[in-house]
Chain A
Amino acid sequence: MNRKKIILLAAVLFFLYPAFSHSSQQILIKNGTVIPVEGAHIQKADILIEAGKIVKIGRDLETSPSAHIIDASGRYVYPGMVALMTAVGVTGYPGAGNDLDESGVSTPQMDPFDAINPEDPCIAVTRLGGVTTVMTISGTRSPINGKSVIMNLEGRLAQDLVIKRYAAQIFNMGAKSDGKYPSTLPGVVSLIEEKLNKAKQYVQKKEGIGGDDKGEEGKENESSRFRIDLEMEALLPVIKGEVPALFITNDEVTIRNALKIIDQFDLRGVIKASKGILKYAELLGEKKIPVIWGGTTGIPGRWEPFDLNYHTAAVLAEKGVLFTFDSGGWGPESRNVRNLPVPASLSVAYGLDEEQALRALTINPAKIIGMDDELGSIEQGKTANLVIWSGSPIQMSSRICQVIINGKVIPMESIQTRLRDQYKE
């Protein structure tokens, strides 16, 4: 080996070191009560983390001498919560405007990845509330809004944060325009159908290329020539059933129409509902269409019982619907994603089983985005997104003692802890 090669190897090792240094570092969470969500609670258990993953769960686990030990005696270890329908990373600074909601009635090609700001203070505030993974969406104001990404709330660059680039396409059944097409619900429905029909044809055309579909003389003619269309490219995986189609609904009628479209185009549908979902609970359970229930804190109508919405999650659970909560019901612009447990608490007070509530905050959203092999529970091999709590997450008084994301011990700091420290004395 000559000198040049040695220097090169040293240089390579030097640059690789940071990558290895964290991943080879073992972390042991000792003596906590582990609530794995999948499986029974384990008292006084250890969790061993290596290379960002949960390696082992059990009693008195052995570690390397250099392992970082976190004492969780008297504390509870839960999987990090997963919040769908957020704008974490694109909320922007107040006054500077956020980056949600591009103009136009159909913008499925909008990709929040392109706007993610890893410096958004909302990231740290959210993870300090025990939410370790979010789905950030592109907007809600158009019938077809755009893509959404999944982020673990840890990382220096957008590509470090984002773990799934295209988790769902966001349709909004209630996005009527004022004074221009579509200004009615039937208009919204037919616009979405028209775009999905076009996407279907686009798929056929695109996949026809390379086949013997070039006409008799093997020549392309102008009309059959395939042209890239970014709008259609974005709908392509949706129409093929590879990417979920998430339908925002706001009442019984919009739910009915969303279900019709899901059925008609054989989509992988998800329903985000804030009202009128009970009538469809049985059907959604049978058809295995998951629900993001954002109506818990909504005030029921004049003619409805006061606790209709508080009680809805209990009915969804009873009917076997795979459901999660929305982080507070103020829509994606809310910076209080950390309040995800609020609807869960209210639902438990009014009839939902506590275990089910916990699942709705963790494993259920992971399943809805098709990432339950990595997220949502404390199991061997899963990403080490863990939160050490002083009590149950559905108790508002419970504190978050330590957050671990991607197997990294997160500093318990945010814009708000810094303000606290600044004004404490």
Chain B
Amino acid sequence: MRNRFIVFVLAVFFVTCLAWPQDLVLKGGTILTITNGTIENGTIVIKGGKIAGVGKDIPIPAGIRVIDVTGKYVMPGIIDSHSHIALTDVNEATDPVTPQIWMREALEPSSDSIKKTLAGGVTMVKTMHGSANIIGGVNVTVKLKYRDQIENMIVLDTRQQLKMALGENPKRLYGSKGRIPSTRMGNAYVMRNAFVKAKEYKEKWDRYEKEKAKGKKDLDPPEKDLKMETLKMVLEKKLGIDCHVYRADEIVWVINFCKEWGIDLLQLSHCIDGYKVPDIIAEAGICYGGWIDWWGFKEEAYDGCPYGFEIMHKAGVRIVINSDSADECRYLYLNAAKVLKYNDIPEEEVLKMITLNPAYAIEMEHRAGSIEKGKDGDIAVFDKYPLDSTSKCLMTIIEGKVCFDYAKESVTVKGGGYE
């Protein structure tokens, strides 16, 4: 009995010490709230992992760890809604239709990429299946809780998103194997055919469930098909969609396709030609996800245009800056500053492109993307204004826990590291 009690006490101790959520106070920083302007010399109180108060004269509760961030800039944790980090595998490139693949199965909590990404102020990513298949796998939205249980990393109260891809990648891969799709016509057919079958499957199951609910006995359930199960979830809007698409014609095509099938397209990824059809993207209310200045690395990327952000912003498109790269994910704030090089867009709108807008793209705007009471305590502290390109992240906080501390992990502080 006594032994059990000790074990229990120890367990409680470890859980409270190590796990999320935590309490924390950040005092004295310049707070870029994103939704409510800038607060000079402000205080943020995080209790139980949630922001309990933000403002100038917030009382600091007793017994909470207080970090003095006077002279520093405090912003919401950066979010990347198109990433491939922390995965052991990315592309199930054996079949153009693989919705049975769930990326959470490949999630690696101890992946070093999580640690390196935290150093750039990033707190949450949607880490994704690749673009080999017309219908790839189900992506997974995670908080960057390095080495935690995957159940704690995966954000549960948001819809996950199915990855789809159009254009050159599936065409090239399956075309080279002499299989369909090898043209854009084939791409369209493969996607349509999958949903035709999924609809039939769903109807079959709906009929069965209905009969069963009526109390009918001796019913044989239809055969389970894991591919179809996922697509059924898409048709039931239990999953959203993120589609990899470059060319304007295909952007329009996939928007129409998703409308036709009543499925929720939440983000257009890469979306190189977005600026050519900004009105259509804005009207559909879908997030543009892409890079600021990548171009020309393949034919469908040839019209990449860094000036396009202004065109889209004016048309009312919600713009999200993605990294699609374990490297660039670490300095999304630099890529955000580049937006200003080419476009007349207010700086607060540019900051949204790496915070609130990606939160929206992963349907997490109620919990992340700005510093507001009630939202998660996901915070990045910078030494200077984050759009100053000589700034760096000093601290990354997830749900009140300091997950990255520059002072502890930097070689720059120690002034060497080469000996």
Contact = CB atoms under 8 A, between A and B. Distances in A.
Interface of A: 91, 93-95, 121-122, 125, 278-279, 281, 297-300, 302, 305-308, 310-311, 314-315, 329, 333-336, 338-339, 341-342, 345-346, 348-351, 354, 394-399, 415-417, 419-420, 423-424
Nearest to A397: B340
B387 A281 contact: no
A416 B306 contact: yes
Contact of A397 (B119, B297, B303, B338): B338
A333 B411 CA distance: 31
Contacts of B276: 423
9 contacts: A94-B299, A299-B113, A306-B330, A348-B389, A395-B389, A395-B390, A397-B338, A398-B341, A420-B305
Interface string B72-106: 00000000000000000000000000000000000
A339 B297 CA distance: 15
Given A300-B116, A399-B341, 15 more contacts: A94-B296, A94-B298, A94-B299, A297-B327, A299-B327, A306-B119, A307-B412, A308-B417, A315-B416, A342-B334, A350-B392, A395-B389, A397-B387, A398-B341, A417-B307
Contacts of A315: 416, 418
Nearest to B294: A336
B206 interface: no
A91 B302 CA distance: 12
Contact of B390 (A122, A125, A348, A399): A348
Interface in B375-419: 387-392, 409-412, 415-418
A311 B412 contact: yes
Contact of B334 (A302, A307, A396): A396
Contacts of B334: 342, 345-346, 396
Given A307-B119, A311-B412, A420 B296 contact: no
A281 B418 contact: yes
Interface in B300-352: 301-308, 311, 326-328, 330-331, 334-335, 337-338, 340-342
B211 interface: no
B295 interface: yes
Contacts of B303: 415, 419
Interface string B273-284: 001100000000
Contact of A310 (B302, B342, B412): B412
A95 B417 CA distance: 44
Contact of A335 (B295, B335, B388, B412): B295
A315 B416 CA distance: 7
B389 A349 contact: yes
B116 A306 contact: yes
Nearest to A311: B412
B410 A419 contact: no
Nearest to A333: B297
A306 B409 contact: yes
Given A305-B411, A306-B116, A349 B296 contact: no
Contacts of A333: 297
Contacts of B390: 345, 348-349, 354, 394-395
B40 interface: no
Given A348-B390, A416-B305, A416-B306, A308 B296 contact: no
Contacts of A125: 295
Contacts of B308: 419-420, 423
B340 A396 contact: yes
A21 B184 CA distance: 52
Contacts of B112: 302
A396 B116 contact: no
B293 interface: yes
Contacts of A278: 417-418
B115 interface: yes
Nearest to A279: B418
Contacts of B328: 297
B115 A306 contact: yes
A207 B411 CA distance: 53
Contacts of B326: 299
Given A94-B298, A307-B411, A423 B391 contact: no
Given A351-B412, A416-B305, A122 B341 contact: no
A350 B311 CA distance: 34
The 5 closest A-B CB pairs, nearest first, are A278-B418, A396-B337, A397-B340, A420-B307, A305-B411
